[in-house]
Every structure is written in C-alpha cells, then in structure tokens.
C-alpha cells in the first residue's frame, strides 16, 4: 500500500455534530465556558471564547482547515467593516450590533 494513502487516513474519528465527543464533551464545555463568562459580565471574552471553540471544532478534524476558517473570518469581517464605512455607519442598512 502507498505510504501517502496511509499517512492521509484519519487516525481518530471526526467530531461531527452527532458524535459522542461533540455531544458529551465539546458542547457542554463550550456552553459552560460561554455562559460562565457572560454571567461574569465578560462579554468580549465570552465572544473570544466562542470563536476559539469554533476554531478548535473545525481544526479537530483536520488542522489545515483552521487556516481556511481564519481566512474566511478575516475576509467576512473586513467586508462587513467596509460595508459599515461605505454606508456611513447607517444603522438601518447594516445593524451588526443587533446580531452580536
């Protein structure tokens, strides 16, 4: 068998939304961390924690996906910032504060 094929096989099960590791470990830890930080009135830190948990979730399957995710997040954030500046910060056009 080709060594490249062996090397590319997954050595662990992927963390799917229906997997035991997601339901019994990742989800409770993520929710507990997020809501604990919010209860402590650390809203910004709670958001950073949630972003970090998301990056970990996507990187658990394959580390290379982390770079794709971070690139996508940066592009989306930049485009949202550009739209906000282009509209003069108009709340009626793009109210991002409502969703955060």
What total of structural domains would you count in the chain? 2
38 occurs within a structural domain: yes
| Percent of the residues in the chain that have a pLDDT greater than 90, as a whole number | 43
97 or 28: which leads in pLDDT? 28
pLDDT in tens, 18-37: 888 899 999 999 999 999 99
Q: Which of 69, 58, 1, 7 is nearest to 30 (CA)?
A: 58
Query: For residues 55 and 45, what is the distance between their CA atoms, to the nearest angstrom?
Result: 15
Q: What is each CA distance from 63 to 24, 25, 49, 66, 76, in whole angstroms?
A: 22, 19, 19, 6, 21
Tell me, what's the pLDDT at 62? 85
32 occurs within a structural domain: yes
57 and 67 in a single domain? The answer is: no
37 and 56 in a single domain? The answer is: yes
């Amino acid at each position: 068998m080709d060594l490249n094929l062996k090397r590319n096989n997954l050595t662990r099960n992927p963390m799917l939304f229906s997997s035991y590791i997601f339901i019994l470990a990742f989800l409770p830890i993520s929710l507990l961390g997020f809501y604990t930080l919010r209860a402590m009135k650390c809203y910004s830190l709670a958001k950073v924690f949630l972003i970090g948990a998301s990056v970990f979730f996507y990187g658990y399957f394959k580390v290379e996906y982390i770079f794709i995710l971070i690139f996508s997040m940066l592009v989306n954030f930049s485009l949202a910032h550009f739209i906000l500046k282009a509209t003069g910060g108009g709340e009626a056009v793009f109210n991002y504060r409502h969703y955060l």
